[in-house]
Structure 1
Amino acid sequence: MSVTQDAQINFETDKYPFCIVWTPIPVLTFFFPFIGHMGIALSNGVIRDFAGPYFVSEDSMAFGRPCRYLVLDPFKVNGGAVEWDECVSKATLRLMSYEGKNWNMIRLAFWMFFCGKYVGWRGAVRTWVPFIIIVTICAVIGMYL
């Protein structure tokens, strides 16, 4: 069995091996649904979240449970799963040379927005309902101005 077949995503326990995870940032994501907070998981599924300057939490994201996730292929990392964990500990996709690309938050945000999967229907609701409510309120107000 391969590393990716052995590593199972578990929504109930928030374990996302070899994944980038995303959660909305209250108020900011309500207006801009493509903006959120990201974390990256080790090969065992433990999410590392860079929650502030000089602080990295494990398995507790700063803005709540993940709503979206992107499964990455550890075999696209120079050194495979072992190198994956080492680079995640050092906090960078760039060190991994993932797909040989130069990674930054803008590229990652677009990738997550267009290719990320929702963590069930609740993830989609947490992402889109506040935005839809705000757009609806603005449209109704705009009709009467």
Structure 2
Amino acid sequence: MEEQVDSDRQLMMEGGFTAPHSMDIDPSRNRFPCCIVWAPLPVLSWLVPFIGHVGICREDGIILDFAGPNFVCVDHFTFGPVARYLQINKDKECGISPHSSALKGDEEYQDDEPRRESLTWDEALRKSTMEFQHRSYNLFTCNCHSFVANNLNKLGFRYGGWNVVNVALLLLLKGQWVSKLAFFRSFMPFVVVTGLGLTFGGTTYLFFLALFAALLVCWFLLGTYCFKNLINL
């Protein structure tokens, strides 16, 4: 039996194949295969805790996030450890090739590309990454949520139609916390800042905080659904 396994493994290596990636989540190594990930943003998340930085992960769990003008960060989540994540079942929820990119060698990938009707997970992410490496970053018009939405649309995740608003809502409603400590780290600054604001500003602080949050929400709602060319995807 062991000889048969070794023989199969040898054939895969000789044919340019590698073993499929594990889908296990490993926060200690910052590996989140086929996940959307979220982390709080300095200052902004202290005021409005549902605002954060997002990225999307390759099949091997490495995080990709749009971190600045013409720059997609690889394997180094820009604003610290992942706090929330949502793992996607790429075989059931995406309109991509059922074959993992880990099962193809580089030569076969290049030879076969013109004939394929659908991309694998990593190929879709590669295309989005190349696209955003030539884009300017703007918090209000082209940000990390734009990058993730672009990836999800290329993946055909739940038939597409993703934008900055429904990506944010998806993580807010469906995302899982990495740990209780991650939850605490995400909300503790908000609690402290709100406490200080109420102590020194009272209801005036609450009014301006609510106004700030409402303006942000309105901007992205209007830019996404009313002025569709305003926010890039």
Compute the TM-score of the two structures, normalised by the length of structure 1: 0.89
| Structure 2: stretches of 5+ with no match in the other structure | 1-19, 102-119, 129-150, 204-233
Question: Is the CA contact 1:11–1:119 (under 8 Å) kept in the aligned structure 2?
Answer: yes
Letter in 2 for 1:84: W
Q: Which residue of 2 aligns with 1:69?
A: 85
- Percent identity over the alignment is 33
Residues 21-79 of structure 1 deviation map (CA, whole Å, 9 limit, x = unaligned): 11111000101111111110001101111111211121101111111111111012122
Is 2:86 aligned against 1:27?
A: no
Superposed, which structure 2 residues align to 1:96-107 within 5 Å? 96-107=155-166
Report the Cα offset of residue 90 of structure 1. 2.1
Question: Is the CA contact 1:34–1:110 (under 8 Å) kept in the aligned structure 2?
Answer: no
Report the Cα offset of residue 110 of structure 1. 1.1
Letter in 2 for 1:37: H
| Structure 1: stretches of 5+ with no match in the other structure | none
Measured in 2, the distance between the counterparts of 1:61 and 1:52 equals 12
Residues 58-110 of structure 1 deviation map (CA, whole Å, 9 limit, x = unaligned): 11011111111111110121223441111112231111110103111111111
2:190 to 123, 128, 131: 131
**Structure (1 or 2) with the larger CA radius of gyration:** 2
1:86 to 123, 136, 153: 123
Between structures 1 and 2, the one with greater strand share: 1
Letter in 2 for 1:60: H
Measured in 2, the distance between the counterparts of 1:110 and 1:33 equals 13
Letter in 1 for 2:76: S
Question: Is the CA contact 1:24–1:37 (under 8 Å) kept in the aligned structure 2?
Answer: yes
Report the Cα offset of residue 116 of structure 1. 0.8
Letter in 2 for 1:123: A
Letter in 2 for 1:97: G
Compute the TM-score of the two structures, normalised by the length of structure 2: 0.57
User: After the TM superposition, which of the residue ranges 10-19 and 97-106 deviates more from structure 2?
Assistant: 97-106
Which structure has more relative contact order (CA 8 Å, sep 6+)? It is: 1
Q: Which residue of 1 aligns with 2:132?
A: none
SS in 2 for 1:85: helix
User: After the TM superposition, which of the residue ranges 132-141 and 111-120 deviates more from structure 2?
Assistant: 132-141
Measured in 2, the distance between the counterparts of 1:24 and 1:118 equals 12
SS in 2 for 1:9: coil
